[in-house]
């Protein structure tokens, strides 16, 4: 595929996603300007990130440090905000703090301290979201998507807000697989409201992916993490 063909494909995906966002905002009585679209570029090459930037996208997300780090370096000349959305091991915190602007997957105290220390050392400020597990099993479910149990979320939010080098951005969740996303997103919205009582600037609600962005918008999401609907299908990743 030529770069021109790929650009046309990405432009088509972007137009379709923007149309879905517009329709969902209209249905929910919300202003489209409240929604930030993040392109999840995992498994796709840095050349796609560059083409998306050319189409006006400014927010990019990755979920694995070993893939994100070189991609961010290759795209360092572009005016992009990098989001880290995957499970994060404490020993990767230092690397991620070097290029990520927003970390969506903060789900335990040890990670808060590791990110804080790394951000200070790098002279950077990281915006952090508390990832909430909305699986029945509070440990992140059988899929192991991570996330803090809902009752641990306000405490973690306070820790982030008090940590040097970190700013509390809000909350993030992935809807449970194979279930109606509405109850999960409603629960997330409740937790987000609870956190805002003490931290009024923590307004980010990161929810909604290719398959459930309409429900997320209906429940107050501010940031959508969209991969497949923008970039096409991913090959299976072997971990």
Sites of contact with ligand PLP (CB under 6 A):
40, 42, 63, 85-86, 174, 209-211, 225-229
CB of 120 to ligand PLP, least distance (A): 26
Of 160 and 229, nearer to ligand PLP (C-beta) is 229
Of 165 and 226, nearer to ligand PLP (C-beta) is 226
Both tokens of residue 239?
């971990």
CB of 18 to ligand PLP, least distance (A): 15
Residue among 178, 185, 209 nearest 85 (CA): 209
Residue 61 CA to residue 131 CA, distance in Å, equals 15
CB of 213 to ligand PLP, least distance (A): 8
Of 58 and 122, nearer to ligand PLP (C-beta) is 58
Alpha-helical regions (H) of the chain? 3-28, 46-54, 65-74, 93-96, 109-122, 153-162, 181-198, 213-218, 228-231
Of 107 and 165, nearer to ligand PLP (C-beta) is 107
CB of 52 to ligand PLP, least distance (A): 14
Residue 202 CA to residue 142 CA, distance in Å, equals 29
User: Is residue 11 within 8 Å of residue 54, measured between CB atoms?
Assistant: no
């Amino acid at each position: 595929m030529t770069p021109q063909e790929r650009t046309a494909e990405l432009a088509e995906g972007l137009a379709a996603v923007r149309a879905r966002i517009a329709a969902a905002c209209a249905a929910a009585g919300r202003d489209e300007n409240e929604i930030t679209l993040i392109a999840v570029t995992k498994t796709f090459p840095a050349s796609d990130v560059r083409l998306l930037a050319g189409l006006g996208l400014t927010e990019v997300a990755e979920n694995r440090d070993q893939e994100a780090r070189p991609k961010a370096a290759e795209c360092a000349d572009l005016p992009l905000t990098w989001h880290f959305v995957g499970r994060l091991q404490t020993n990767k915190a230092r690397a991620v703090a070097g290029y990520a602007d927003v970390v969506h997957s903060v789900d335990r105290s040890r990670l808060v301290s590791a990110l804080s220390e790394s951000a200070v050392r790098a002279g950077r400020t990281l915006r952090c979201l508390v990832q909430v597990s909305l699986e029945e099993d509070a440990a992140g479910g059988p899929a192991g998507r991570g996330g803090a149990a809902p009752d641990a979320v306000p405490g973690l939010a306070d820790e982030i807000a008090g940590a040097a080098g970190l700013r509390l951005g809000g909350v993030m969740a992935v809807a449970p697989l194979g279930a109606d996303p509405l109850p999960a997103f409603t629960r997330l919205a409740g937790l987000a409201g609870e956190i805002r009582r003490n931290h009024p600037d923590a307004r980010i609600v990161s929810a909604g992916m290719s398959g459930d962005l309409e429900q997320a918008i209906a429940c107050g999401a501010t940031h959508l993490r969209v991969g497949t609907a923008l970039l096409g299908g991913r090959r299976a990743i072997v971990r």
